[in-house]
Structure 1
Amino acid sequence: MKSDIAFVHAPSIYDFRRRPLKEGPIGDVVPSTPLFEMYPVGFVSMLNHALEEGFSGRISNLAVLMLSDDTFDVERYLKGVDADIYGIDLHWLPHVHGAFNVAKVIKRIHPDKKVVFGGFSSSYFAEEILAANEAVDYVLAGDLLEKQMNSLIDAVQRESNLEGVPNLVYRRNGRIVRNPPLKDPDPTAAEFINYQILVKNSIKYHDVKGHLPYYSWITNPTGMTLVQHGCQLNCGFCGGSNFAYKNHYNYISPLRRDPSRVAEEIEVVKETINSPVFIAGDLNLMGEKYYTTLFEEIKNRGIDLPLLTEYFAPPGEDYFHTFSKYVPQFMCEISPDSSNQKIRSETGRYYSNSELEKSIDTARKYGSRKFDVYFSIGLPLQRKSDVLDDTDYLEKLIASHG
């Protein structure tokens, strides 16, 4: 069945089934494997908006399909995915090998169709990508691209001038051209992470696995929403920092989403898959007015799903007290990255171990079911001995605060 747009997600390493891979120190941060088979939630939102505007579309999670079956034939499958445009995400850099190889396969099978890249890494390296990869026709740079993607679909189908597609980077007369970004007074209005369309599309295209957000989603489903785009902070390693976002993805950072819209997405998860929901973005940093409004929206809608929340700095007692009044089941996670406070501050995280430990104890006091703490290697100033110190600190942390 033909579609106007097919969103294709590649594994991090395209030929992983033929390679004796050693993944290295990759933590279980998200419910996916080291092949990074979890596609961006932007796929769901862009697909939802395309369908609302009368276009047809589907998601093809090649990574899940390849993980599910050692004999799965990628090229045979892609021959059956007929679309005018193939959208491939190159968001985080681990997907470089997979994304470019899948683009080549698609272009070989469908030479007259268009391939567009998107995501943070695609946006940052847009000109380099187009200069070095003939299999990629366009890069749609930036974030919150629901409206821009629909404009691109329309322009391609009408064979009209691409100058009217905001955020588009493309080739014209041998030169690489970057169109101005969309100056939208309400850039989050078109965004809606609607898991119902995954169910409907799985039936329509007879492709359940191709629409799965990650490999274990059927047995271990998790929904996702986010409270903002961009960030208040400037952590030195983060591609989504305040500086990075304002300079490469959108001219405003952070962009807060309407709490009622976030609650509505969580409600859709309850109605569709009735699973825990991960809320991306630090609710505490959003401020008391914002998080209280969101919690009230959640409670008023009768939502009782477990919520997994992330924090960029340790929340205090007032926050957890309010959280527990409205949401009885919640879990927390934070990434101090290092137990060495000098190393931690070098990355942009300015809090002490005692503040971290106090926050963990406070969360447990108010009913947090768990508190995941993540550490990293390869940080500025970090030595091997510092990493070993981290393991010692973790043992003490679990013994004293677990």
Structure 2
Amino acid sequence: MAVPDLVLLHPPSVMDFRKRTLLMGPVSDLIPSTPVFDMYPIGFTTMASHLESRGWEVRIANVATRMLASSRFDPDRFVRSLDAAMFGIDLHWMPHVQGALELARMVKRHHPDRPVLMGGFSASYYHADLLRGHPEVDFVLRGDSVEVPLERLSEAVEKGKGLEEVPNLTWRLDGSVKVNPLSHVPDSLDEVLIDYGLMVRKVLRYRDLEGHLPYRNWKSNPMSIAVSVRGCTHNCVNCAGSCDSFGRNFGRSSPAYRSPRLLADDVARAEEHVKGATFVVGDIRQQGRKYASEFLAELRRRKVRNEIVLELFTPCDAAFAKEVSASLDRFSVQMSPETHDEVVRKAQGKPYANVGVERSAEAFLDAGCGRFDLFFMIGLPGQTPGSVEGTVRYVERLYDRFRGKRLFPFISPLAPFLDPGGNAFEHPEKHGFKVLARTLEEHAQLSTMPSWKYVLNYETRWMTRDQIVDASYSAGLGMNDIKERMGLIPRDTAERTRSRIMAARELSGMIDAVVSKDGWNEADLAALRDSAKDLSESTVCEKEELDWTDNSFYASIPRMVGSLLRKR
């Protein structure tokens, strides 16, 4: 088998997580991945699709899912067995910093003559630091759209050409760091290719299903993604994907959208391969209602049957909900008001009222929405423990109002990290935050702490780390009790969740007792390791509550085979 031109490696959050005592907490309860953040970014697919369309051979290897799938899987041996002209490692969100750096060292140890590339939001933010302080990293491609720069870099690596003309590249020459202009910032996503059949072909070529899974639970809860936008028109203070952050860190002055027709094509092609929900990234109203209407009309013409999951960044009117209903057979909606407190919500960067949230939920539920998910957060500017309790009481009123109407509120902490590059990280005093880690090394060190309380890289003027942790567990108990009383979850499910939360809270105290002693080490925590592992997933709710589909991966096999036969 020919050596790939590029192997894209996705690390776990902590490379040796299986050997450490890590109470990771409810940091991933409300996303598809596990607490080791095993979901690789959609950019892996777009980069691989772009290069493959131009004749390059790319392999994706999700090291995190391989490690989760088998205790016998040895990442060091696996990396040693690989070869490629170049290795790429994502450092998109900051929770991967320790795993990404350790994986880069592993690659460089076994393949010292092969260049190691990093990319993603966090890599872009720390690009110069990565090149100055980490000899295992040779290149960083900056920005949100590196498909074309990656092609240019691959050509330069293959032909031994100079790197001065590769856009968005930070690199090293004779020991000094070179920063090429961030010049490739496309104003449209219409040239971005998403090959939904890529994973199927690569699984067959490399005989590696686990390594190509987007996340561990994909086989039981398959999901596809269609990307409507890169960039954002909103300014949530904690987010590295905010409008200000895109301008400051990624050279983007305005969002780049995919045309309604091509976005609908993506959704339809995803359905050819996967029998499961398709999540449309970005509020389709961001570019205006005309864009949203055109996209929905395109979907209506294609008669899409998969469930479509839409995001709302702001409240909507009943007319929009009816338009969605008229265009789609099956759909669900997600909205993140973050808190019931409108003053706190405004400080977070979302200046809209509760009445808008409630009218949006009512409009979509009346229009036949499969489920309307509401996400609330703990650790916001201006938020106190009492305010968190108020959010739980507000949720109870919502449940009572929408009883039996498929409303699903969730709550979790802003964890583990405040995003580097976001406004709160850049201007913490202005927004009431205290940042506890600034550098790559400081974040990597926090990542290996034994309890998620010590991993948090921030406190606020209103809540300490201890209060954020306690409020998270208390809110989880409150939400669980409400769902049980309302009949939304069975009694045995509620009891399991209640027991897990109480056990996690107790274990957190036991870890505190160890960490408070001078000279403690990992051996002092060994007796708690199994309990920490068991209590680090589905902490404040059952993860299955987030599943959009009852279909498993195996229900998609006929579609995948059909797409291969059609060579699509």
Q: TM-score range by the shorter chain?
A: over 0.9
CA distance in 1, matches of 2:292, 2:235: 22
CA distance in 2, matches of 1:11, 1:185: 30
Find the residue that maps to 2:221 and give its secondary structure. coil
Displacement of 1:187: 4.9
Compared with structure 1, are the counterparts of its residues 290 and 103 closer, same or farther at alpha carbon in structure 2 (3 Å cutoff)? same
Displacement of 1:125: 1.1
CA distance in 2, matches of 1:232, 1:185: 16
Compared with structure 1, are the counterparts of its residues 351 and 368 closer, same or farther at alpha carbon in structure 2 (3 Å cutoff)? same
The letter of the residue matching 1:266 is V
Find the residue that maps to 1:286 and give its secondary structure. coil
The letter of the residue matching 2:11 is A
Q: Could you tell me which residue of structure 1 aligns to residue 329 of structure 2? A: 328
The letter of the residue matching 1:82 is D
Using the size of structure 1 for normalisation, the TM-score is 0.97
- Contact 1:141–1:167, Cα closer than 8 Å, also in 2: yes
- Contact 2:300–2:328, Cα closer than 8 Å, also in 1: yes
Q: Could you tell me which residue of structure 1 aligns to residue 193 of structure 2? A: 192
Q: CA RMSD in A?
A: 1.4
CA distance in 2, matches of 1:25, 1:220: 20
Q: Could you tell me which residue of structure 2 aligns to residue 312 of structure 1? A: 313
CA distance in 1, matches of 2:188, 2:175: 32
Q: How many residues align?
A: 402
CA distance in 2, matches of 1:65, 1:201: 15
- Contact 2:187–2:257, Cα closer than 8 Å, also in 1: no
The letter of the residue matching 1:365 is D
Q: Could you tell me which residue of structure 2 aligns to residue 388 of structure 1? A: 389
Find the residue that maps to 2:167 and give its secondary structure. coil
Matches within 5 A, 1:245-324: 245-324=246-325
Compared with structure 1, are the counterparts of its residues 211 and 15 closer, same or farther at alpha carbon in structure 2 (3 Å cutoff)? same
Compared with structure 1, are the counterparts of its residues 24 and 287 closer, same or farther at alpha carbon in structure 2 (3 Å cutoff)? same
Q: Could you tell me which residue of structure 2 aligns to residue 105 of structure 1? A: 106
CA distance in 2, matches of 1:298, 1:100: 42
- Give the fraction of aligned pairs with identical amino acids, expressed as a percent: 36
Displacement of 1:181: 2.4
Q: Could you tell me which residue of structure 1 aligns to residue 357 of structure 2? A: 356
Matched, 1:219 2:220: yes
Find the residue that maps to 1:142 and give its secondary structure. coil
Displacement of 1:184: 6.0
- Contact 1:38–1:214, Cα closer than 8 Å, also in 2: yes
Compared with structure 1, are the counterparts of its residues 213 and 183 closer, same or farther at alpha carbon in structure 2 (3 Å cutoff)? closer
Matched, 1:153 2:160: no
Displacement of 1:386: 1.5
Q: Could you tell me which residue of structure 1 aligns to residue 461 of structure 2? A: none
Structure 1: segments with no counterpart, 5+ residues: none
CA distance in 2, matches of 1:193, 1:29: 25
Q: Could you tell me which residue of structure 1 aligns to residue 174 of structure 2? A: 173
Find the residue that maps to 1:163 and give its secondary structure. coil
- Contact 2:304–2:329, Cα closer than 8 Å, also in 1: no
CA distance in 1, matches of 2:316, 2:188: 29
The letter of the residue matching 1:219 is S
Find the residue that maps to 2:282 and give its secondary structure. strand
- Contact 2:224–2:278, Cα closer than 8 Å, also in 1: yes
221-230 vs 241-250, which deviates more? 241-250
The runs of at least 4 consecutive aligned structure 1 residues that moved more than 4 Å come to: 183-187
- Contact 1:284–1:315, Cα closer than 8 Å, also in 2: no
The letter of the residue matching 1:53 is R
- Contact 2:171–2:179, Cα closer than 8 Å, also in 1: yes
Q: Could you tell me which residue of structure 2 aligns to residue 10 of structure 1? A: 11
Matched, 1:84 2:85: yes
183-192 vs 284-293, which deviates more? 183-192
Q: Could you tell me which residue of structure 2 aligns to residue 232 of structure 1? A: 233
Question: What CA deviation, in whole Å up to 9, does each residue of 1:52-78 have, x standing for no partner?
Answer: 111111100001100100111111111
Q: Could you tell me which residue of structure 2 aligns to residue 132 of structure 1? A: 133
CA distance in 1, matches of 2:188, 2:293: 23
Matches within 5 A, 1:1-80: 1=1, 2-80=3-81
- Contact 2:196–2:273, Cα closer than 8 Å, also in 1: yes
- Contact 2:188–2:257, Cα closer than 8 Å, also in 1: no
Q: Could you tell me which residue of structure 1 aligns to residue 374 of structure 2? A: 373
- Contact 1:269–1:275, Cα closer than 8 Å, also in 2: no
Compared with structure 1, are the counterparts of its residues 355 and 394 closer, same or farther at alpha carbon in structure 2 (3 Å cutoff)? same
The letter of the residue matching 2:214 is P
- Contact 1:328–1:367, Cα closer than 8 Å, also in 2: no
State which structure, 1 or 2, has the greater radius of gyration over its C-alpha atoms: 2
CA distance in 2, matches of 1:10, 1:357: 39
The letter of the residue matching 1:151 is R
CA distance in 1, matches of 2:188, 2:140: 19
Using the size of structure 2 for normalisation, the TM-score is 0.69
Structure 2: segments with no counterpart, 5+ residues: 408-568
CA distance in 2, matches of 1:361, 1:216: 31
